[in-house]
Amino acid sequence: MADVEPIVGRYLRMTLGGRPHRVYFEEAGQGIPLVCLHTAGADGRQFRHLLNDAEITRHFRVVAFDMPWHGKSLPPVGWQDEEYTLTTRGYVDLILTFCAALGVERPVVLGCSIGGKIVLELARLHARSFRALIGLESADYQAPWYDDTGWLHRPDVHGGEVCGALMSGLIAPQSPSETRWDTLWMYMQGGPGVFKGDLFFYRADGDFRDRVAGIDTTICPLYLLTGEYDFSCTPDDTQRTAAKIKGARVTVMKEIGHFPMSENPAQFRRYILPVLEEIRGRG
Amino acid sequence: MIAAVLDDLADLVNRDASLVRRGRYLSTTFLVETGPTAWLVTVHEGRVTGLERGPFLMRAWSFAIRASEEAWRRFWEPVPAAGWHDLFAMTKGGHATVEGDLRPLMANLRYVKDVLTKPRRSA
């Protein structure tokens, strides 16, 4: 018998910013919808271990989409004359539109890095639309660790190579070689300027220091989990953020960096299963 | 003394055919400072062809990577602690600096980071 994984991939058509888009997503499992948001400059393959985890898919319909310009989601028509830039408003619109177009109601959203950051805005503005929100490597602000994102997109430096080489340091040294290099491969495959465009949101537009106090976790629970080896969004950044949000739950994950679900799925599982179990228990 | 770790750098790099291949478009001299000791590392098409120990009075280099002896000692531990595990973790933490012409560094970043990490196993 063929060794086929339970993950199914399809394309969803939707309108974003008044323009037609075709968004690729993968899903597995049944039950509570769990929509997963990948990191900047990567794609939904980061969640392949979650999607293949029978313990999770027994109770959750796990859905991971590739943002437009990422993975198998093409940029919109006319992209060739544009510079891709992710904004807070555009990102929120993408998530809400995707969930509505797919017909998932009150999903749990789990996002990492830019995905972890945007759940803070989902929590503030749209808490009633979600069953729970989970931010991995999430903070209202994080100090930059290199000055010029221009290095990510210029003709004399290979974008994929430099993105991969920069990201390699954000993976914990304990993470297995196989999943470390899977993670970096996705960075090496990004389209020109896409990672840089995502970082506009991560580094500039997504400064939520004056906003997160408006989050009400009694409407929608908020879980923040950050890897101890993440020096982009540090555990201190997450804890400082959570200190402003009454009821936010923080976990610092040992032997994990910036890409928990992708760099070390087995270690991440130890932290995420109890969270998912708790969310399920809340009904 | 931590600086002695770099004595074997040329052998460590040149014995690694995959690493040399990845660096095949890099030919430059860069400076590495381990506390009070400076090193000039000359790379020719991915092979380390020169390793000079300072002090230097007036020498040219393309880029420089400087950190204290303590920072390199922690960086080269077999499983470094968080904050000491990557060059940019150390620069963000204020434990290392990177300066000079960054283009050859960024264009060959994986190679340079791998070269700097090479002593980790033997440390």
Residue B22's closest chain A neighbor by CA?
Answer: A161
Band of residue B3 on the pLDDT scale cut at 50, 70, 90: low
User: What is the pTM for the complete model shown?
Assistant: 0.97
The pLDDT-based confidence of B122 (bands split at 50, 70, 90) is low
The answer as to whether A91 is a domain residue is yes
Can you tell me the distance from the alpha carbon of A212 to that of A233, in angstroms, rounded to the nearest whole number?
16
Which of B:69-88 have CB within 8 Å of A? 79-80, 82-83, 85-88
Structural domain contains residue A1: no
Does A145 fall in a domain?
yes
Instruction: Tell me the CATH number at B74.
Output: 3.30.1050.10
Q: Residue B123: which pLDDT band, with cuts at 50, 70 and 90?
A: very low
Note whether B109 contacts A228, CB cutoff 8 Å: no
The CA distance from A51 to A35, in Å, is 11
Q: Does any domain span residue A2?
A: no
Q: pLDDT digit string (tens) for A92-120? A: 999 999 999 999 999 999 999 999 999 99
Contact between chains at B85 and A169 (C-beta distance less than 8 A): yes
Domain limits for position B92:
2-120
Asked if the C-beta of A8 comes within 8 angstroms of chain B's C-beta atoms, the answer is no
Predicted ipTM > 0.90: yes
Provide the residue range defining the domain that includes A61.
8-282
Q: What is the pLDDT of residues A136-164, one digit of tens each?
A: 999 999 999 998 899 999 999 999 999 99
Gap between the Cα atoms of A218 and B80, Å rounded = 40
pLDDT tens, position by position, A61-83: 999 999 999 999 999 999 999 99
Total domains in chain B come to 1
**B113 vs A contacts (CB less than 8 Å):** 165, 168-169
The model's pLDDT over A10-33, given as tens digits with 9 standing for 90+, comes to 999 999 999 999 999 999 999 999
How many structural domains compose chain A?
A: 1
**Distance between CA atoms of residues A210 and A201, nearest Å:** 16
In a domain? residue A81: yes
Residue A169 belongs to domain with CATH number: 3.40.50.1820
Mutate to test the interface with A, among B18, B21, B76, B85 (most CBs of A within 10 A): B85
Distances (CA, A) of A125 to A94, A213, A217: 14, 12, 12
Q: B41-57, pLDDT tens digit by residue?
A: 999 999 999 999 999 99
Query: Tokens 């993440």 identify what position?
Result: A230
